[in-house]
Amino acid sequence: MKPILYTHGSSVEWGSELENKELERFSSIVSKHWNWVDCNNASSGVSNDYMYRQTMRDVSHWLETKKCWSEETGWVESDELFVIIGWTAPTRLEWWTGNQYQQERLWVGYDKWGENDREKTTEDEFVLNQTELIPSYIKTFNQLIGLSSFLEKHNIQYYFYNVFYDYNNLKIESPTKIDKFGRNENQLCFESLWKQLPYEFKQESMYSYIQSKGGRFLERNHPTKESHYIWASYLINEVWKLWKIKL
């Protein structure tokens, strides 16, 4: 059985705007290079909450059954599983409506994708509160630490990277107590949490790397076919070094 490459992310990892995403997106290129099954579960517009929740579910199911699912492949079976996740803006979230999960985000410049998003704004008070930097960073950092620890516990090789977001404000502190019975100082400790995140996530973002190599983006700011190849080549090199794959 071929090893499974389980990829998760949002529209970038899904291959949005590509003419033939199943063949042109980076996960397909990486999978073909190693002769793996491209089990891509990315979906357009989703949050890190969504990726974290589904990856925990899917890896847990694989540990029990050795089976994994994607829309393109259906159920596939393998004794080997590798995980790649492209983490999106922390200012996205999901919430339970009573019968399904709803994806939300803070509609600001770094997370608007083309003309269709230009006039979109976030006005709901609940969403505005949840997408402030403090809860957004806390949640995402905990998800990264928790999921990486889970995968390491089960000896599953993984690669986490930051797609485009700029984490440039780790020194922020809350002007009020964030917990009713909590302490008054050092409530957030973002710099300490940052040190615990997977090394690869803290390196240059996917978008920054593509731009440094002359890559381009399509009308709605998704990577071109050539840019997917640039990122795939980078991952192949990094994966080979990190996971010590035998050629």
Do the Cβ atoms of 207 and 215 come closer than 8 Å? no
Can you give the pLDDT of all 247 residues of the chain as single tens digits? 899 999 999 999 999 999 999 999 999 999 999 999 999 999 999 999 999 999 999 999 999 999 999 999 999 999 999 999 999 999 999 999 999 999 999 999 999 999 989 999 999 999 999 999 999 999 999 999 999 999 999 999 999 999 999 999 899 999 899 999 989 999 999 999 999 999 999 999 999 999 999 999 999 999 999 999 999 999 999 988 888 765 4
3-class SS at 220? coil
- CB-based burial, 162-190: b 16+ in 10 Å, e otherwise: bbbbebeeeeeeeeeeeeeeeeeeeebeb
- In total, the chain counts a number of residues equal to 247
Output the six-digit token pair for 22.
Answer: 């199943």
Task: With beta carbons less than 8 A apart as the criterion, state whether 188 and 138 touch.
Answer: yes
Neighbours of 219 (CB within 10 A): 9
Question: Nearest-5° angle of CA 245, CA 63, CA 9?
Answer: 65
User: In terms of residue numbers, what domain contains 117?
Assistant: 4-243
Query: What pTM does this model have?
Result: 0.96
CA atoms within 13 A on the CB side of 86: 29
What pLDDT is attached to residue 245?
A: 62
Burial tier of 100 (Cβ tally within 10 Å: 0-12, 13-18, 19+): exposed
- Tokens 């020194």 belong to 171
How much is the pLDDT for 240?
A: 85
Of 38, 46, 37, residue with least CA distance to 16: 46
Give the span between the Cα atoms of 85 and 13, in whole angstroms.
8
Q: Residue 158 burial (CB < 10 Å; 0-12/13-18/19+)?
A: buried
Measure CA 32 to chain center.
21
What phi and psi, each to the nearest 5 degrees, are found at residue 149?
-65, -40
d(CA 154, CA 228): 30
Number of domains in the chain: 1
Q: What is the pLDDT of residue 247?
A: 43
> Which segments within the chain are labelled E, that is strand?
4-8, 37-40, 67-70, 74-77, 81-87, 92-96, 101-105, 158-162
CATH of the domain at 164: 3.40.50.1110
Return d(Cα 227, Cα 208) in angstroms, integer.
Answer: 11
Q: Please state, in angstroms and rounded to a whole number, the distance separating the CA atoms of residues 114 and 130.
A: 24
Do residues 225 and 18 lie in contact, with contact meaning Cβ atoms separated by under 8 Å?
A: yes
